[in-house]
């Protein structure tokens, strides 16, 4: 196999479910000023920064100058884009966020995520890794190079294309400690 090139079209996606089907749920997007528009393949979470945004979602984000995405409120991966114009609303405007369909990160669902690594061998199965975000490519990926236990959000369950090729994808499940209680209560 040849090296893969990540691009703006490289996105995480649902891969398989022990149930045979995925759980989908629509959530209303947050209307806070700092909310980025949610695109297909974005990892989403509850908006934990705005007290009035109960059960509203935002695109997961990183800390300044750090690619890792940390949360205890992940919901899953967006399978449709936010079509609202909330981001252009005036600050403080009483706007209604649109609903976005999410594939839930429950205990039965695995996701196929891109990587930015050339060490995707079967030896990484069962290990925990951090999620990261590449703002240039607008993509979430599994940071296989990060070995910091506190940053771990997912566990690798499969390597569909093992080898030393760059950017091979991996199959992961979200850790129960990283997902919102709404989802993790079933773990």
**Domain span holding position 22:** 13-184
Does residue 41 fall inside a structural domain? yes
Does residue 50 fall inside a structural domain? yes
Does residue 3 fall inside a structural domain? no
pLDDT at 9 over 90: no
pTM for the whole thing? Answer: 0.84
**Number of structural domains found in the chain:** 1
Does residue 2 fall inside a structural domain? no
**For 77-98, how does the pLDDT look when each residue is reduced to its tens digit (9 = 90+)?**
999 998 875 444 444 444 556 8
3-state secondary structure of 140: strand
Does residue 111 fall inside a structural domain? yes
**For 124-160, how does the pLDDT look when each residue is reduced to its tens digit (9 = 90+)?**
899 999 999 988 898 999 998 877 777 889 999 999 8
Whole-angstrom CA distances from 18 to 8, 25, 107 are 30, 18, 9
Distance of alpha carbon 48 from alpha carbon 129, whole angstroms: 23
Does residue 103 fall inside a structural domain? yes
Does residue 7 fall inside a structural domain? no
Does residue 23 fall inside a structural domain? yes
């Amino acid at each position: 196999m040849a090296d893969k090139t990540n691009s703006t079209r490289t996105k995480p996606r649902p891969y398989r479910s022990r149930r045979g089907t995925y759980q989908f749920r629509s959530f209303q997007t947050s209307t806070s000023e700092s909310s980025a528009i949610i695109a297909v393949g974005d990892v989403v979470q509850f908006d934990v920064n705005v007290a009035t945004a109960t059960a509203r979602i935002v695109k997961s984000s990183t800390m300044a100058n750090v690619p890792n995405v940390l949360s205890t409120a992940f919901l899953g991966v967006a399978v449709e884009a936010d079509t609202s114009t909330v981001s252009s609303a005036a600050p403080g405007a009483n706007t209604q966020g649109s609903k976005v369909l999410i594939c839930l990160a429950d205990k039965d669902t695995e996701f196929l995520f891109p990587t930015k690594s050339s060490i995707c061998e079967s030896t990484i199965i069962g290990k925990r890794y951090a999620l990261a975000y590449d703002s240039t490519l607008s993509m979430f990926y599994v940071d296989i190079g990060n070995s910091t236990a506190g940053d771990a959000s997912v566990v690798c369950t499969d390597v569909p294309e093992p080898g030393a090729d760059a950017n091979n994808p991996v199959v992961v499940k979200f850790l129960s400690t990283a997902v919102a209680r709404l989802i993790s209560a079933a773990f």
